[in-house]
Structure 1
Amino acid sequence: MRPALFCLLLCPVLTAAAPREATYAFQGVERIVAVGDVHGDVDALRDVLKLAGLVDARGHWTGGKAHLVQTGDIPDRGDQTREAYELLMRLEVEARKAGGRVHALLGNHEVMNMTGDLRYVAPGERASFADQSPAPDDPGAPPGTQGHRAAYGPDGRYGRWLRTHAAVVRINDTLFLHGGIAPDLPETTLEGINRWVAQDLTPGQPPGGASARNGPLWFRGYALDDEARWETGLTKVLGQLGAKRMVMGHTTTQDGRVRMRFGGRTVFIDTGLSTGYGRHLAALEIRGDRLTALYPEGRVPLLVPKSPAQSSSVQAPEPATAPQPAPREAISR
């Protein structure tokens, strides 16, 4: 279906649903599936959703009442960003009708595109937005520049949609976000953190959490630093936000596998899903206190509850020749 016709059919539904996105906490969800960074590879996204049993062969929702969380960084580096947006926009509507939810969270790359930082926009990706503006590109500008700016603006098709989305949500007892919640943030509630991030996307507001280097879209401390440095801070953050664990994308795992740290209280799901980073298909499934990694070769238990007071970690051996993802920039990723 052509994007213009798709918008005529779907945009009113999205507009009506947008105020409900102010809810940042969800309880009683039986099955949660989380997927990391997409980076313009809709085929990989569709394949991992099929792997998790959330969509059928045509890409339509089959997940019932499950909640899908995509932890941000849909755009940049790949040519299929628009297709990935359209897929998630449609699945939002289909999942709601089935009693489920799709949470497409904000990552640093969504915000970079909305605020004009286009360092990582692929040429074909930018050109794909050309039909989003009637204005011609300036002489010498890359094809699609005007359309890209319009599409990500406050009234643009994708900018309007993204601005209704959260940076962090809590589902049952698990926090989901792109980077990480540092213990020294100026906000200590879900509403406050999301409002702080939205400041950077609202004209006339002071700088907020979407651009802050220790903000929830950028922080890498739990992923990269020695655990002893953040042990106390992590405990503080989880207590403040009423959670047992934090699930994050943003920092790629070097072996293409879902990774846990801090005794299972942090989980990292950016496995390099896109073709540019090795196409390591992986998703995290949470059912109660049972965490399972989903891979094309099968299910791997990560955290299996033994009793209400005790859990053990079980990690399958990694293949000796596992492909390595390409290195990523230290900050802008």
Structure 2
Amino acid sequence: MTPTLRPLVLPLLVPLLLAAAPPVAAPALPRLEDAVPDTFTGVERVVAVGDVHGDVDALKEVLRLAKLIDEKGRWSGGKAHLVQTGDIPDRGERTREAFELLMRLEGEARAAGGRVHALLGNHEVMNMLGDLRYVAQGELASFADQSPEPDAAGTPRGANGHREAYGLQGRYGRWLRAHAAVVRVNDTLFVHGGVAPEVPAKTLAELNRWVRQDLFPGNPPGGAKDPQGPLWFRGYALGQEEEAARALETVLQRFGAKRMVMGHTTDRDGKIRTRLDGKAVFIDTGLSTGYGRHLSALELRGGKVTALYVDGRVELVAPEAAKAGKVSP
């Protein structure tokens, strides 16, 4: 019998097919002009979480507390929206795990009809721009696998990988540059620091572009590094009451909102607090272990504003209730 040659055909064809196939295009670099969604309406339940600072376990615990993830860490929040108000990195050593968690949850939430909004904070920007003064040694070392080049003699382990990871083409730099600094969900503005009335923007799209232009080369100075920009401003947290109230009202009217939810300024008592007739809400309670591990989240649902803690729920003063002189327990 003549032996068949058919088994030889496939091994011969594969190299030819591969050679003829067009090369796989590299993913396009993020651009300043890319659309960054900033406004969402008709959302039944919104949960906001403040500064994480490298403590992924605390973040997971808070998301479970808010019933947004299950015991395996998978999205269980349905159509809810999660807003994380920035400052995922620095001070702790597990920033990458926190990034990876939120990156995965973005896709899982969308598939369920919900959303995850990871906003830019000043620490994300500092890392993207090479300001490493708050990067823990272990955190820096965790990025070592992100660059094929060994670190130069005398430099900390992971320095090259960190720079690559936060760059335009890096895994986390690409992801962060596609995110907003400020979003409005229903009638609430969410931001890391605060939006001052002096920002050079009449719309959220203009405001986010002003912030993001610092993150792309060849642009004039923008709002990411500006000390009065939305990643740094503390006027509503620390400013004189009357002046801060006037400024906040101006901003809320400009952007069509009733309140502003902010991180950035840590409450040392570990409690979410409101100010300015309930129109300013501060949610950085010191979530990470380095700040005392005060676990909390803010829930907005059905017109109610509620602080979620391990030991229970506390309804906060909504602007309408404050105006009517009604104080929630």
TM-score by length of 2: 0.88
Superposition map of 1:170-249 within 5 A: 170-249=184-263
Aligned to 1:54: 68
Counterparts of 2:325 and 2:160, CA distance in 1? 53
Distance 1:261 1:130 in 2: 43
Aligned partner of 2:298 among 279, 284, 303: 284
1:68, distance to aligned residue in structure 2 (A): 0.1
Cα distance change of structure 1 residues 292 and 20 upon mapping to structure 2, 3 Å threshold: farther
What corresponds to 2:88 in structure 1? 74
Aligned CA distance change for structure 1 residues 291 and 192 (closer, same or farther; 3 Å): same
**Alpha-carbon offset, residue 310 of structure 1:** 3.6
**Mapped partners of 2:245, 2:124: distance in 1:** 29
* Matched ranges for 1:251-270 at <5 A: 251-270=265-284
- Cα 1:246–1:306, aligned 2, differ >3 Å: closer, same or farther? closer
Instruction: Measure, in 2, the Cα distance between the counterparts of 1:119 and 1:233.
Output: 32
Aligned CA distance change for structure 1 residues 226 and 137 (closer, same or farther; 3 Å): same
Comparing 306-315 with 236-245, which one deviates more in the overlay? Answer: 306-315
Instruction: Please say if residues 90 and 136 of structure 2, whose CA atoms lie closer than 8 Å, have aligned partners that are also in contact.
Output: yes
* 5+ long unaligned stretches in structure 1: 1-11, 316-333
Q: Which runs of 4+ in 1 moved over 4 A?
A: 304-309
Matched, 1:120 2:142: no
Map of 1:9 onto structure 2:
none
Q: Return the alpha-carbon distance in structure 1 between the equivalents of residues 213 and 37 of structure 2.
A: 18
Partner of 1:106: 120
Alignment of 1:148-187 (within 5 A): 148-187=162-201
Question: What is the Cα deviation at residue 157 of structure 1?
Answer: 0.2
**Hey, what's the Cα distance between the residues in 2 that align with 1:284 and 1:263?**
17
> Distance in 2 between the 1:65 and 1:171 partners?
13
Number of aligned positions between the proteins: 303
Contact 1:24 1:169 survives alignment (8 Å): yes
Deviation at 1:303, TM superposition (A): 2.8
Give the aligned partner of residue 40 of structure 2.
26
Query: 2:102 and 2:184 mapped to 1: Cα distance?
Result: 20
Report the TM-score, using the length of structure 1 for normalisation: 0.87
Distance 2:156 2:241 in 1: 44
Q: Judge conservation of contact 1:248–1:270 (CA < 8 Å) in 2.
A: yes
What 5-or-longer segments of structure 2 have no aligned partner?
1-25
State the Cα distance separating 1:100 from its structure 2 match: 0.1
TM-aligned CA deviation for residue 229 of structure 1: 1.7
Secondary structure at 1:91 match in 2: helix
Structure 2 CA distance, aligned partners of 1:20 and 1:313? 43
Distance 1:306 1:154, change over 3 A: closer
1:129 is aligned to 2:143: yes
